[in-house]
Structure 1
Amino acid sequence: MLQPRATTRLVVPVLLLGVLSYALIQSLIAPVLPVIQRDLHTTQSTVTWVLTVNLLSASIFTPILGRLGDRAGKEKILLVTLVALAVGSAISAVAPNIGVMLVGRAVQGLGGGVLPLAFGIVRDTLPRQRVAGAVGLIAAVLGIGTGLGVVLAGPIVDALNYRALFWLPMIMVLLAAAVTWFRVPSSGVRAPGRFSLTASVLLAAWLVALLVPLTEAAQWGWGSTRVLSLLLAAVVLAAAWVVVEARSASPLIDMRMMRTPAVWTTNLVALLFGISLYGLLGFLPAFMQTPSSAGYGFGATVTRAGLLILPMSVAMFLSGLAGPRLTHRFGAKTVLVGGTLLAVASFAILTLAHDRQWEILLAMAVLGLGFGAAFATMSNVVVAAVPAHQTGVANGMNANIRTIGGSLGAALMASIVGAQVLPNGLPTENGYRYGFAALGLASVGAALAALLVPRNHRHVEPAVAIRDEESYAEAAVAGVPGLEAKVAN
């Protein structure tokens, strides 16, 4: 239901705060894993699970929470999600050992539900003319938060300690939860049907079976029995999940929706972009922190490495804001293709020219321009292509597919970079060069996938005669996206 302007004026700010907090919680930790390893007296292979378990949890709960929001009320599930994010942050902040830390990070993974719920609330509560801009802004903040976490990690640890990386976002989350409780209105849009527990369990099972071997393959070996067995189990469980969903009267993920040209093509772009972005952010800081005596790298501190990535965050935010205007002028497909081509150019720079800091700064700025515009555009394409009651689950699956792509990218980079090692144990320059090139190829694939996105991707509901404001509100409750019907004379 569309709400009065006075009621909705805090909706977008509180959603932005929740999304920013989640993005920071995801990205702040990667640069300080060695610090956590030393403090909690664990091994390098074990401490990587601080990232992995959060990724697994988010992959599982993002679409589930999106679906629950569509059924029970997005504002209610958003509040639950924010509280879980805060609780997980508190557990991680006080963790006395690695086991407790992993529990906290798994609980934090529920924060992935912020994304589909935020997009759904925007579509349900804001006037049509504000939806595209708000969606673009949320996508831009998600992008800048992802890059900003890498930038802020060093200064925060230097000034305080690594546990502040959990406390500070927790404060932001609690503030967002409080405002959500008092100021985010109920949309009134609900999806019919029952919640499928079987589909949820199968979804969790095949995602775990897929992401664990992809994350651990660099250490276990791609041809090891464990990796191959889990990948085979993932295929079987995924097939079973698809069968259950296809036969369900109230599926967790509507397979007909997923087959929509605008949805599956955009999801393919998200998968390939996830490979590129998360694969890069997981390894570029280590490249820049490598001492120059290795023949490459800058010997940068954690703080300085973050500053070299800062142009990406700034450019991503600015291009995300400009995304809706560019889409209005040139069309979503054109903007999406343009964004992917900018990403290709950035990885070409990183592959061929990475000896000077200004080259890294240039590559990061170009990459940010491409990713920011593309992320904002993808979100708007999905919002426009599905019925109102499927907005949350559709965007949840898009974000989830990007997360799966991130796991693929991290595994790909770990295998390529780790395959060539210097006598001192550091990766060779060629290892990074080949890794950057592989991520560039993923961006090329994203550009080709973007070419498949249909130009006319808007979902059309049955015509509704809009005679006055009361009829307009009734149509909004019915879930008519954008209220495409003509105003009756």
Structure 2
Amino acid sequence: MTSDQAPPRVRYQVTYAVLAAAVISFVLQQTMLNPVLPTLQRELDTTQADIAWVLTANFLATAVFTPILGRLGDMVGKKRVLVGALVAVAVGSAIAALATTLPVMVLARVVQGVGGGVIPLAFGVIRDEFPPSRVPGAIGTISSLMAVGGGIGTIVAGPIVDGLGYEWLFWLPCLAVAAAAVGAHLVIPESRTRTGGSINLVAALLLSSWLVCLLLALTQAPKWGWGSPTVVAMLIGGVVLLVVWITVETRARQPLIDMRMMRLRGVWTANVVGLLFGAAMYAGFAFIPQFLQTPESTGYGLQASITLSGLVLLPQSVVSFLTGLASGRLVARFGSKLVLIVGALSCSIGFALFARFNDSLWEVSIIGILMGVGFGLAFSAMANLVVAAVPSSQTGVASGMNTNIRTIGGAVGTALLAGVVTADLQPSGYPAESGYTSAFVLAAAGLLLAALAALLVPAVRRDPITHEEPAAPLRHPQAGTIPGATLVGDGRE
């Protein structure tokens, strides 16, 4: 294994451009469908309940493949796996564009979900190839692209469908991802740091099983009922499989996800914050456009079109991206912990304000700016905390699990808040305003909890020139030494 302390190779700026294109292309194919599901429902001649599987299938595939591809990239080379993941997204997008039935569309979305590994692989490439002083800023900006991509997807979906047809919601990402795959193959150097070994197939199967049980139960509970035997059985089964998976991973000689790594205080605290952030962010992407598009006849709706509601949220996406660009300097000056706390508080205040001040589009847009600052700060800080807390050989799987936990949080938050929003329906079939208000207050409370959880994040000692953590091995009372891990806090994680 070659040391990750070797001098970085040239053209890291070009590498960064390719990685950014890959991440934004993947996120766009995830989010552009949210505001146009009714159009897909009509085109595929299916029901409102069944069309939700277009989102659920992608959610499940992303949750399953993200940590697996992160681990595979650490083992055999991040470039090779990154290119493969991008090719899978392109193939899935092409199948979706040609789909004329719901089962084919769902299959295509599963194939697209394989690309979830793009995000942890991008973090791993940055750590391998960039100068140490550039790593925090690059990771911060890439992280902010996840929030930016969600906003852009909401903005462009309406004009694409109106001008070109819904098929181009898939053809455009297909072309973009294919170009990113070619760029990655030509530009990105192969990893110098590899762990070797093999994929633990039993652990992968167990991981897939408990995630499928959990996410299926959470996404279908509003439809089937939280007390239905099927939902209860899946929740219990998910918990049992989770316990079995943890046991298998703890005892395995070559675990898919190193449980010693997951017990690092810098990792598990970032994951708790990520779970809460994912719940609020994905719920916001789902319900704020719906709120804006509600007819004025309900007494509270603003009756915005799909395109207009996206434009209202455009400042949030722009500010989130700009904040991500500046996050590297902020992390270097103030530390990831403080940046994370400020980001969580900013988002919490934004949701609280949105619950109260939502009578006009300009109010929503201004509040969105505050939330954009919070998302940009928090996502970059979380990514940097995870990358700093683990050895470079485990960057992919650690950051992949953090991304995965945000996905799980998104499923939990969306399912729970959907129940809150639809608990009281008007005779017209639209939710009462109180449902939205309660949902946004709960999102604000969840983000306040995220800020409190961030207080548990250990302080990281950084080199004043490179802003890197010292490369001392990290010892655990029961797990021994993890070679190459960085020392965070007081080392008692």
User: Which of 152, 155, 175 is equivalent to 1:151?
Assistant: 155
8 Å CA contact 2:74–2:194 kept in 1: the answer is: yes
**Residues in 2 aligned to 1:87 and 1:197: alpha-carbon distance in whole angstroms:** 25
Matched with 2:263 is 259
- Alignment of 1:44 onto 2:54: no
Is the deviation greater in 4-13 or in 94-103?
A: 4-13
Is the deviation greater in 452-461 or in 72-81?
A: 452-461
Give the aligned residue type for 2:344: T
Shift in Å, 1:195: 1.5
Matched with 1:348 is 352
**Residues in 2 aligned to 1:78 and 1:33: alpha-carbon distance in whole angstroms:** 29
User: Which of 296, 300, 306 is equivalent to 2:300?
Assistant: 296
**Residues in 2 aligned to 1:87 and 1:266: alpha-carbon distance in whole angstroms:** 33
Give the aligned residue type for 2:195: A
User: Which of 26, 29, 40 is equivalent to 2:30?
Assistant: 26
Is the deviation greater in 111-120 or in 153-162?
A: 153-162
Matched with 1:272 is 276
What is the alpha-carbon root mean square deviation over aligned residues? 1.8
TM superposition score normalised by structure 2 = 0.93
SS at match of 1:355: coil
The 3 A distance-change label for structure 1 pair 399 and 196 is same
Shift in Å, 1:483: 13
- Alignment of 1:329 onto 2:333: yes
8 Å CA contact 1:24–1:148 kept in 2: the answer is: yes
Q: Deviations over 1:149-180 (max 9, x none)?
A: 01111111111111111111111101111111
User: Which of 47, 52, 59 is equivalent to 1:55?
Assistant: 59
8 Å CA contact 2:389–2:485 kept in 1: the answer is: no
8 Å CA contact 2:389–2:487 kept in 1: the answer is: no
**Residues in 2 aligned to 1:61 and 1:387: alpha-carbon distance in whole angstroms:** 22
Matched with 1:376 is 380
User: Which of 440, 443, 446 is equivalent to 1:442?
Assistant: 446
Alignment of 1:234-249 (within 5 A): 234-249=238-253
Matched with 1:461 is 471
User: Which of 200, 204, 208 is equivalent to 1:200?
Assistant: 204
TM superposition score normalised by structure 1 = 0.93
SS at match of 1:439: helix
8 Å CA contact 1:350–1:360 kept in 2: the answer is: yes
Shift in Å, 1:462: 4.9
Matched with 1:230 is 234
Give the aligned residue type for 1:356: S
Matched with 1:466 is none
**Residues in 2 aligned to 1:441 and 1:482: alpha-carbon distance in whole angstroms:** 33
8 Å CA contact 1:316–1:371 kept in 2: the answer is: yes
8 Å CA contact 2:136–2:331 kept in 1: the answer is: no
Shift in Å, 1:3: 6.4
Shift in Å, 1:457: 6.7
The 3 A distance-change label for structure 1 pair 328 and 9 is closer
Is the deviation greater in 57-66 or in 136-145?
A: 136-145
Shift in Å, 1:194: 2.5
**Residues in 1 aligned to 2:162 and 2:196: alpha-carbon distance in whole angstroms:** 51
Alignment of 1:55-204 (within 5 A): 55-204=59-208
The 3 A distance-change label for structure 1 pair 460 and 310 is same
8 Å CA contact 1:7–1:185 kept in 2: the answer is: no
Count of aligned positions: 470
Shift in Å, 1:7: 4.3
Give the aligned residue type for 1:64: I
User: Which of 390, 398, 415 is equivalent to 1:394?
Assistant: 398
The 3 A distance-change label for structure 1 pair 12 and 72 is same
Shift in Å, 1:460: 4.7
Q: Deviations over 1:390-432 (max 9, x none)?
A: 0000000000000000001110121001111000111110011
The 3 A distance-change label for structure 1 pair 256 and 483 is closer
8 Å CA contact 2:426–2:432 kept in 1: the answer is: yes
The 3 A distance-change label for structure 1 pair 481 and 254 is closer
**Residues in 2 aligned to 1:3 and 1:176: alpha-carbon distance in whole angstroms:** 26
Alignment gaps of 5+ in structure 1: 464-478, 485-489
- Alignment of 1:404 onto 2:408: yes
**Residues in 2 aligned to 1:293 and 1:424: alpha-carbon distance in whole angstroms:** 9
Is the deviation greater in 9-18 or in 197-206?
A: 9-18
8 Å CA contact 2:71–2:396 kept in 1: the answer is: yes
Alignment gaps of 5+ in structure 2: 463-468, 474-482, 489-493
Give the aligned residue type for 2:315: P
Q: Which runs of 4+ in 1 moved over 3 A?
A: 1-9, 457-463, 479-484
Shift in Å, 1:30: 0.5
SS at match of 1:154: helix
Shift in Å, 1:18: 0.4
Q: Deviations over 1:265-320 (max 9, x none)?
A: 00000000000000111111111111111011111110001111111101110111
The 3 A distance-change label for structure 1 pair 418 and 8 is same
SS at match of 2:122: helix
- Alignment of 1:305 onto 2:309: yes
8 Å CA contact 1:349–1:359 kept in 2: the answer is: no
**Residues in 1 aligned to 2:246 and 2:238: alpha-carbon distance in whole angstroms:** 12
Q: Deviations over 1:188-223 (max 9, x none)?
A: 210143220000000000000000010011111111
The percent identity for this pair of structures is 49
Matched with 1:471 is none
Give the aligned residue type for 2:426: L
